[in-house]
Amino acid sequence: MANRVGFIGLGIMGRPIARNLLRAGFAVTVWNRSRPGMDALVAEGATEAATPREVAQRSDIVITMVGDSPDVEQVALGPDGIVEGAHPGLLHVDMSTISPEVTRRVAARLDEAGVEMLDAPVSGGEQGAINATLSIMAGGKEEAFESCRPVFEALGKKLVYCGPAGSGQIVKLCNQVAVAITNLAVSEALTLCIRSGVDPQRMLEALGAGAASSWQLQNLGPKMVEGDFRPGFKAEHQLKDLGHALEAAYRAGASLPGTVIAHQLFAILVDGGHGAEGTQALFKAVQELAE
């Protein structure tokens, strides 16, 4: 089992994931674009690197958890990137949610340098990252997935091999489609309930015990009612992910009408300055339509 794990991207999700790797006994080398994330992990036992290249040189597996496709391309293939620290047996695991097309392109470039790549985005949000209960969906070579299983087991409870390169990203985009549209359904149900003069807490209690129950109803519904829009997963990131889903749908010849509506509403949120709020802020956009 590879004991040296590099980690690049120490944000809301990355920091607790890297922390769980330390707790599981892995030797972790970290790099982040800003200091606070690195300082926190170094204080807990991680080793600091000056560049992604140095992370790769010191690691058997390098995990990235960054913002979007250009960020993955930069840290993987750019100057002082992972590819420049390539060595025999190096595996790059990208846990970001990005374009499947970009994933395949990066994987091909890394393969030319002798580096295996898995696209392994996650679901479960910040709390899942903290509790090591993430769902991990992976694309790439199945042998690489199996070799990385001990690392994944330190981070998540549901580990699914989805197919060749890009498959993990496609499955994650399916997750985001289902999550966003369910979020929209909860927002609409609450709007109808409140506008009709019924106690929304009682509505959530009733629906939570029946066929309408969902993770979004149980976890985001109460936050919507309470006006708690602190992020577990930011609205601006949901907007980005739905954009990738619509791009993938266009390439596949799939029609996603509900996703189009959710994407437009999240765009309204972000344009209105609410991009850093949690995805439960979608409730605001639905309420505004009822004004």
Residues with catalytic annotation?
172
**Among positive and negative, which fits the CA dihedral 181, 183, 185, 188?**
negative
The single residue listed with the structure tokens 């109803």 is 217
Sequence-separated (6 or more) residues with CB below 8 Å from residue 228: 222, 280
At 274, give phi and psi (nearest 5°).
-110, 15
Residues ≥6 apart with Cβ < 8 Å to 165: 103, 104, 107, 108, 117, 119, 139, 140
Contact predicate 259/182, CB 8 Å: no
Is the CB of residue 30 less than 8 Å from the CB of residue 50?
A: no
The bridge status of strand 91-94 relative to strand 122-123 is: unpaired
- Spatial separation of the C-alpha atoms in residues 152 and 96, rounded to whole Å: 14
Residue matched to tokens 């199945």 = 142
